Amino acid sequence: MSVLLVILGYLLGSIPFALIVGKVGYGIDIREHGSGNLGGTNTFRVLGGKAGLIVTIADILKGTLAASLPVLFSVDIHPLLIGMFAVFGHTYPVFAQFRGGKAVATSGGVLLFYSPVLFMTMLAVFFLILYISKYVSLSSMLTGVYATAYAFIWTDDVPLRIVVTLLTLFVFYRHRANIKRILNKTEPKVKWL
């Protein structure tokens, strides 16, 4: 049963909401526009606020649902483990030629299930950094740093510490090109803040 939950978590994460919303709602393949990324940020830039919000919320909730599977099915496996497979699925989705998003929203969704207080404070940190910097990518990475600090300073939850650290490192890895653009001052800034 644990193996089935791992597979189900990965498949949930693999649902490419940006691709679905783009094709069904707008008749375009979002991978051919903007950054080509299947995530909320690219959806906001290419399709606008409504589509971006739908994709971001859906990407968050698939992480939340995946992490909840062990509880829903009463299986003795850590929710964060299944959540990590959902993040992997979001990033390398079997339903979209393994070209997915950058792990941010779905990681947040996993933490929404496991630690709602951490998730809510992460949202506040994200928007504060976004307001100051205007960089979504920088806000995402620094929010991960905050989450890691939170796990080590305010909890003694070893699985949370391990998973948040791994997710943060993965988010940095997925934002390698963004880091270069930030340093070169060519990274796009949000215009609505």
Q: How far apart are CA 136 and CA 187, in angstroms?
A: 9
**What pLDDT digit, counting tens, does each position of 175-192 carry?**
999 999 999 999 999 887
Would the pLDDT of 193 be above 70? no
Going by C-alpha positions, the residue among 70, 111, 52, 63 that lies closest to residue 90 is 63
Say how many Å lie between the first and final Cα of the chain, rounded. Answer: 46
Task: Using alpha carbons, list the distances in angstroms from residue 185 to 132, 133, 188, 190, 191.
Answer: 15, 12, 9, 14, 16
**What pLDDT digit, counting tens, does each position of 126-170 carry?**
999 999 999 999 999 999 999 999 999 999 999 999 999 999 999
Amino acid letter for position 148: T
Task: Using alpha carbons, list the distances in angstroms from residue 145 to 11, 107, 170, 171.
Answer: 27, 13, 12, 10
The answer to whether 117 and 71 have CB atoms below 8 angstroms apart is no
